[in-house]
Chains A and B, each alone.
Chain A
Amino acid sequence: MGMDWFRYDVDRYTTPRAAIIPLAILVLALIYLGYTMATTGMPVKPGLDFQGGTAVTIISGEDEAAIRALVAGYPLESVTKEGGNQYLLKFGAMSPDQNEQLVQLITSRYPDASINYIDETFGATLQGQALLALIFSFIGMAIVVFIAFRTGVPSLAVIFCAFADMVVTAALMNVFGIPLTLGTVAALLMLIGYSVDSDILLTMRVLKRRGVLSEKLAGAFHTGIIMTTTTIAAVAAMLVVTTLMNVPVIQEIAAVLLIGLFVDIYNTWITNAALLRWYVEKKGATS
């Protein structure tokens, strides 16, 4: 039936050997992020919010050359045509005075322009705050998980999977060229909440229900995958509409959530399930 696009073979996917693949992906992602960090100073390519700069969206009947000529003298970095007559102009760092002149120039010529400006120090402040938000969220999540399960290994497994989700998603953001902005940071935070959803279901079912372990795993998978699928459906709908109708803020949030949800599927049902199975079987053997 519909939801079984692939069979969840409990005995095959939840062995320590199966968990090697997600672990290898995690290690690769960490290396990739480390490399990006070493070469650019940030693990994920920062967008306007964090890097600073000016972005201008205008609707103009003129061609690109005319627009470039208009803003000659300003540190123009790129001009992108966003469909129709809509252009996105990106500028590098400039002084507040120069920015004010640019705003005057643009608004006098294109009253309907959208202009965004973030100065570099403000961007750096936002960066610091966003990093703190990520750390606090993660610690908060870990505390809730520990309080909920009150057992070491299962809690650690959930937290580890949330960590792996974020790291791999961040690495994939680089691959797909999605910049780190306030919006995408929010999406990453949301993933912390999302990713533990299915992990909690899995852990609760396995630890608190009676029955055969592999049956409990399979049952949890059946519910869990439909949960994730509904979320994926909502997020994919959001991505499609905002891509077609050109709403970059939501589009980026949706893209990151979507990547994260797919990453979460294997991290939950392979990594976390394998850890949990190992824990339950070990406990069963000693008691």
Chain B
Amino acid sequence: MSKTRGPAKKKEAVAPPKEKPVQAAPHQEKPVSWTEVLKDWRVTLLLILVVLSVAAIYPHTEDGKLTSRLQFGLDLQGGSWIQMGFGAEVVGYETTGSVDDLVFALRDRLDTQVYDLGNGKIEIQKYYTRDDLARIFPEVNATLTSYEEGVSRNTADTVKRILEEKINSLGTRDARVNLLTPVGSSVVRYVRVELAGVNLQTARDIVTQQGKFEIRVQTTGNESQHVLYGDVITGVGVPNKEPGTEIWGVSFTLNDNGAAAFRDACIQTGATTDPENHYLSMILDGKTVYSAPLSADLASSLQTQPTKQLYATTGEGNAGLEQAQQLEIHLRAGALPVEVRVAGSGSVSAPLGEQYLWASIVALLFAILTVGVVVYYRYREPLIVFPMMAINLSEVVILLGVATFIQQLDLAAIAGLIAVVGTGIDQLVVITDEVLHEGRVPSPSLYRKRLDRAVAIILVAAGTVVIAMLPLILMDLSTLKGFAIITIIGVLIGVLVTRPAYGKIIMAILSR
């Protein structure tokens, strides 16, 4: 502590110009004209982005209600989410025999589908604990080396397609299905379904509901007769190519009754002797999803014995594959290849969502207003405060505009948005104070130097915020992703667009 220099006195000597009006600055420079400011690319870019954002948000009235293209999350518009874990596991193994032998042995022993995933991993489509498997593996000449609950990417994609198909077929608007993989793993652990405007009970029904699947055979002309229902289908394979050809298809298995019924119907209608005039059709919930004649091979073999293993071809190339994937879903009639159990669920009612939305809007406006009051209190100079607030608002508008393309707004994202308002102003303060250092408006060269220094501070600060938020984006912690995305985009817009423009504008103002 120094006695010779009083802190209060020193404070005055270094205090930036809080009481000195900015206009008092010496006019040694030619004022920058407004047209010149507007022509500056940074300012032009900002203005263009604001206009584009407003267009993207597109506020308009529909049936007398104000609406926009902003997408709101479940918690702001009402809806339900269900997150499900897979009753399956991906395990590592060591075996003395071949992988194929192990896979077949396990299929028998565990009575479920087992797939070789390559890289020393196999997928078991039924729930077993690690201890169970560790005990069972030696029986099939193998040892268990790793164990992760979940499914491979492929199986997870199938689950996702099935769920999307189901939701779409019910005409539910605004649904999303996401797969969640823990960081550092390639095994998909959860699938999350979000349905807007639906209560939890309905959502659960939709997700678990199965379609009605039927196979019919053509008799004469447009007439057809029933062959079997989906309940006799015991297994559906993944799309694969017919051996030795480039033709895609899906195999499926019938139980004994189904196989008998299939054979009887084909013989009775004459499909076995004249396949071309007796097409077989697959019908899901009253809609024909597949129609083809019996193959020559099958037609002749059915004449002597029933077949449990059937194969439906769809065609060559990508189109064939896509159709095969569709067919697989239809054959399953909404049943998932692996069992799922609900790990979490949630719902927000429409009235509560609306209440949250209003609260969010009020909170955002109130935050902007409060920040305005604080900076006014600090600078007491409308010529500084208004541009600051305008920049701050434009930042919010651009952020919302960008959000219409990539991110729905939920409560957490709104919190991120409000935080961006706070930090955005922060950095404008850094620029202003840095430039106004010692209360004088600097010459352009000095100004440049100071602005660069301010930008350096801002860049490091922005860098840390982005880095701090990055794990949340990579991690799929459901609701927090929106928060992180909004925060990062907000910071980037600030650093790349609005702060540079502000630097130009404040220079023009101060040089007056």
Contact = CB atoms under 8 A, between A and B. Distances in A.
A182 B363 contact: no
Contacts of A242: 359, 363
A121 interface: yes
A235 B345 contact: no
Contacts of B484: 186, 189
Nearest to B376: A2
A3 B380 CA distance: 12
Contacts of A234: 367-368, 370-371, 418-419, 421-422, 425
B319 interface: no
B479 A183 contact: yes
A215 B2 CA distance: 14
Contact of A11 (B2, B359, B463): B2
A229 interface: yes
Interface stretch (B34-42, B350-358, B500-508): B350-358
B130 interface: no
- Among the interface residues A15, A190, A238, which one has the most CB atoms of the partner chain B within 10 A? A238
Contacts of B189: 125
A148 B204 contact: no
A62 to B, nearest CB: 17
A219 interface: yes
A23 interface: no
B423 interface: yes
A197 B346 contact: no
B343 A122 contact: yes
A107 B349 CA distance: 10
B183 interface: yes
Interface stretch (A26-34, A35-43, A200-208): A200-208
B425 A189 contact: no
Give the size range of B's interface with the partner. 35 or more
B231 to A, nearest CB: 24
Contacts of A111: 199, 349
A122 B85 contact: yes
B440 to A, nearest CB: 14
A26 B363 CA distance: 33
B496 interface: no
Given A115-B347, A144-B467, A238-B415, A215 B10 contact: yes
B350 A122 contact: no
Contacts of B415: 183, 186-187, 238, 249-250, 253-254
B116 interface: no
A237 B370 contact: yes
Looking at chain A's contact residues, the main secondary structure is helix
Contacts of B472: 133, 186, 189
A141 B363 contact: no
B483 interface: yes
Contacts of B370: 233-234, 236-237
A111 B350 CA distance: 10
A247 B360 contact: yes
Contacts of A132: 183, 471, 475
Interface in A80-138: 96, 99-100, 103-104, 107-108, 111-119, 121-122, 125-126, 128-130, 132-133, 136-138
B462 to A, nearest CB: 9
- Among the interface residues B356, B422, B430, B470, which one has the most CB atoms of the partner chain A within 10 A? B422
B183 A129 contact: yes
B374 A223 contact: no
Interface string B468-491: 111110011111100110010000
A104 B469 contact: no
A140 B467 contact: yes
Interface in A133-165: 133, 136-138, 140-141, 143-145, 148
A241 B468 contact: no
Contacts of B200: 103, 107, 115
Contact of A112 (B342, B350, B453): B350
Interface in B150-193: 182-183, 189-190
B58 interface: no
Contacts of B422: 230-235
B7 interface: yes
Given A115-B200, A132-B183, A136-B471, A186 B480 contact: yes
Contact of B475 (A59, A96, A133): A133
B423 A197 contact: yes
Contacts of B350: 112
Contacts of A215: 10, 13-14
A247 B76 CA distance: 11
Contacts of A10: 7, 10
Interface string A238-269: 10111001110110011001000000000000
B377 A2 contact: yes
A78 interface: no
A282 interface: no
B412 interface: yes
Interface in A191-214: 192-194, 196-197, 200-201, 204, 208-209, 214
A280 to B, nearest CB: 16
A119 B344 contact: yes
B360 A250 contact: yes
A234 B421 CA distance: 7
Contacts of A70: none
- Among the interface residues B7, B342, B464, which one has the most CB atoms of the partner chain A within 10 A? B464
- Among the interface residues B366, B430, B467, which one has the most CB atoms of the partner chain A within 10 A? B467
A222 interface: yes
Contact of B342 (A119, A187, A257): A119
A218 interface: yes
Contacts of B378: 2-3, 226, 229
Nearest to B359: A245
Nearest to B436: A223
Given A130-B477, A222-B433, 17 more contacts: A1-B19, A122-B85, A129-B475, A136-B471, A140-B468, A182-B412, A183-B480, A196-B460, A201-B430, A230-B425, A230-B426, A233-B374, A236-B370, A237-B367, A237-B370, A245-B358, A246-B359
9 contacts: A7-B8, A57-B352, A116-B344, A136-B471, A183-B479, A197-B461, A234-B371, A240-B366, A253-B415
Interface of B: 1-2, 7-8, 10-11, 13-16, 18-19, 75, 83, 85, 182-183, 189-190, 199-201, 204, 341-352, 355-356, 358-360, 362-363, 366-371, 373-375, 377-378, 411-412, 414-416, 418-419, 421-423, 425-427, 429-430, 433-434, 437, 453, 456-457, 460-461, 463-472, 475-480, 483-484, 487
